[in-house]
Structure 1
């Protein structure tokens, strides 16, 4: 049996894991490596990608920066989250704000250390990334449209740094990036609808607060239609192997999303829509394997 002190430490660990969204970071790490193997550097030997120390350092720097970003976001949104997510917030509060801030600075310092292994330009890139995340959490996220746009850009930035590292400018990469960017933009707007109660209470100027739920649904509809179009373009005009199964599934789920969004008027409805988008994004990460099922064997 665990002692009382051990249980307390374990609870604090889970609290910190919840704050930094450890599961999200793990998915991002997997996505960065799969994208490197199948999309950014498809012609390189598998071992050259997996054991590339520069790539590892960029992935670690990204992970540390994102984790720090979740902490500072949690710090600024603690009151709003208490309204929107009371159970999760109670778990998050097992770790003090001072401890969270200490981890925030440690993680950002580690990100710069990891980036310094690669190059001075990588250090500058991650320093700007850290600043941008802080600016978003502190001020920009409270602005309608701007907050959503910046959040979507910050979300795809970890893939942008790998893209720059490999200098692969194939058109298919831009098509994938646009698809992901649109999905993330939809997710951010859906989260705003889901968190409308807390945003209203604390005067966050999000799109639903400023323009209303109906206008937000029109914007979601436009974004969903654009995402479906990009998905169809990827199916018809690019060599994506068996990944076309994922895009067919995405088109179907986004069509269902469009049907549900106009019938939604409660938090649980928006939570369902949010989970649909999260499923598409996570499924997209692992469906990268379908681009070429035999690629691992051929490149050993």
Structure 2
């Protein structure tokens, strides 16, 4: 299904879900720390529509962009823990724990984990002029021409930024990192050849790969993706490399265990639906699901893992 068509379906579903708000109360808000139309927003709207159908309740998406997701996180952390305000958190939730010296909430203690929703691998895309066709060749080229290659970053402290830092730390190569305010301007300069390469979500990369405007050097997940079977994991060249982005649902600290379990199980049911799983795979997402305790352990591990990278790279919030 084409992205535009899929987004149209999501929009219709979200409207359908919100349309019954007059008949059913209370409404559950899914707060998103990003603007409409992006990956986080897309996942939230899938769940808003499908959870409404499965649970017979009303779910609506509210966008609260800014500060790398911290504005949305703060709003949810301060909300009444009645299970009616949830945060669609993203990788930045784990990164920000170290990237920001002082947060108005605790990334773990201020929240109730609900469910790990999905992982979102990225593809390292390069301009055709780059004389490398895989990670081994890229590393060799960068060592032969230190400082000559450049990588666009969608933002300081983003998963793409820190994923690039890990490559340099692990291989010792010198690549110029060029920060942008978002993925779109970075992509424009990579397409124009002003910048050598960048990480892009699998869904965003699809069009560039199909048109051969850019070429893939590797994928950030530990295993190949079924929709991109010919793109080798970066881990094949840099052992242990697995720096994919992810999505999850959190609520305020102190949420009722019964409500948390119900939401977790309903979300897992939605994610295991073959149609939904296939649609999300087309968007470059690998569904997860599972119990709240599993997401809690995952989140703690991610905070420690990304924290190590933030400290080693010296990255600071802008």
Instruction: Determine which structure has the larger helix proportion and give its number.
Output: 1
Is TM more than 0.5 here? no
TM-score with structure 1 setting the length: 0.24
The structure whose residues are more often strand, as a share, is: 2
TM-score with structure 2 length normalisation?
Answer: 0.23
> More relative contact order in 1 or in 2 (CA 8 Å, sep 6+)?
2
